[in-house]
């Protein structure tokens, strides 16, 4: 397929500490929450055996990245201590790295100390929901360690973000925020950036669908786009479902995201996301 298709981004390769992440064709990031309170899979992967079986299944189904998080960011969630976050994520990352040494492991954190320890344990990508706003040292560490960095937009913080999210123009404001943050990151020598508009993070259902509809606008930055919509409220509230019932809706929204330029799908269900990517690849190949 040619690079003119909207599922492609200008920057397509990332060095994750010796592992090549190739986004010339969209990939799947599998979510592994080692938390008791995440909105969908909290408490499921707290034993090493369950964790490894789940990770193996995701990798066999085609996940290119495993994203490990130790602090819930669902609406209304409160922060856990740094010590608790470390206690949750470090054994998980170490076990995953030992058993799947070729897997790209992402650490979902905004804390500099957690990032350092996670990278030492085997992580090679950082997924920061705070966009650098929570820990001023984090970006310096990202630069020093030469890590690819996922820059996510969030209005407020998880404890308050859904109380009354408001924008004059959601897409334009997220775009302007990205522009400012990218310049700041570049000034530190950070160029391996992936953009995440932050579906569900300080947005109403309408804001989320506005961002989804105009997702391709963010391709103007020449950077890959991550879409994290898996089983989220934009689907559940629209269809009057619970997260456990939202797989079909997730696949539909993921497909729209792919058509509008997403390069990474962050999901709980790898097989279905990989099937959506395969079908979109065939669609684009048919019109080349």
- d(CA 277, CA 258) in angstroms, rounded, equals 7
| Nearest Cα to Cα of residue 232 among 248, 247, 240, 243 | 243
- d(CA 140, CA 124) in angstroms, rounded, equals 15
| Nearest Cα to Cα of residue 178 among 216, 238, 208, 221 | 221
Is residue 88 flagged as an active site residue? no
Choice among 44, 206, 266, 271 that is catalytic = 266
Q: How many CB atoms lie within 10 A of CB 155?
A: 20
Choice among 181, 203, 231, 232 that is catalytic = 232
- d(CA 287, CA 275) in angstroms, rounded, equals 19
CA 204 to chain CA mean position, Å? 19
Is residue 203 flagged as an active site residue? no
Contacts of range 130-136, beta carbons closer than 8 Å, 24 or more positions apart: 130/154, 130/157, 131/177, 131/181, 132/181, 132/184, 132/185, 134/110, 135/110, 135/111
Catalytic residues: 232, 266
């Amino acid at each position: 397929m040619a690079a003119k298709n909207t599922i492609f981004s200008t920057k397509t390769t990332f060095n994750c500490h010796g592992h090549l992440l190739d986004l010339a064709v969209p990939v799947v990031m599998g979510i592994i929450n080692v938390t008791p309170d995440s909105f969908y899979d909290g408490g499921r992967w707290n034993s090493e055996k369950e964790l490894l079986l789940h990770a193996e299944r995701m990798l066999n189904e085609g996940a290119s990245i495993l994203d490990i998080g130790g602090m819930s960011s669902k609406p209304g969630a409160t922060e856990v201590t740094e010590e608790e976050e470390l206690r949750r994520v470090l054994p998980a990352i170490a076990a995953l790295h030992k058993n799947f040494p070729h897997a790209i492991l992402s650490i979902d954190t905004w804390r500099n100390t957690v990032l350092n320890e996670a990278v030492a344990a085997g992580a090679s990508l950082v997924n920061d929901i705070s966009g650098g706003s929570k820990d001023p040292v984090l970006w310096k560490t990202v630069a020093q360690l030469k890590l690819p960095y996922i820059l996510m937009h969030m209005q407020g913080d998880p404890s308050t973000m859904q109380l009354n999210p408001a924008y004059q123009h959601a897409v334009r404001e997220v775009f302007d925020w990205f522009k400012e943050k990218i310049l700041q990151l570049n000034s530190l020598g950070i160029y391996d950036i992936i953009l995440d508009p932050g579906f569900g993070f300080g947005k109403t259902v309408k804001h989320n669908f506005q961002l989804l509809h105009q997702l391709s606008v963010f391709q103007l930055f020449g950077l890959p786009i991550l879409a994290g919509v898996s089983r989220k409220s934009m689907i559940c509230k629209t269809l009057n479902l619970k997260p456990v019932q939202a797989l079909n809706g997730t696949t539909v929204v993921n497909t729209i995201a792919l058509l509008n330029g997403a390069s990474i799908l962050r999901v709980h269900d790898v097989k279905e996301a990989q099937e959506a990517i395969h079908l979109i690849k065939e669609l684009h190949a048919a019109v080349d």
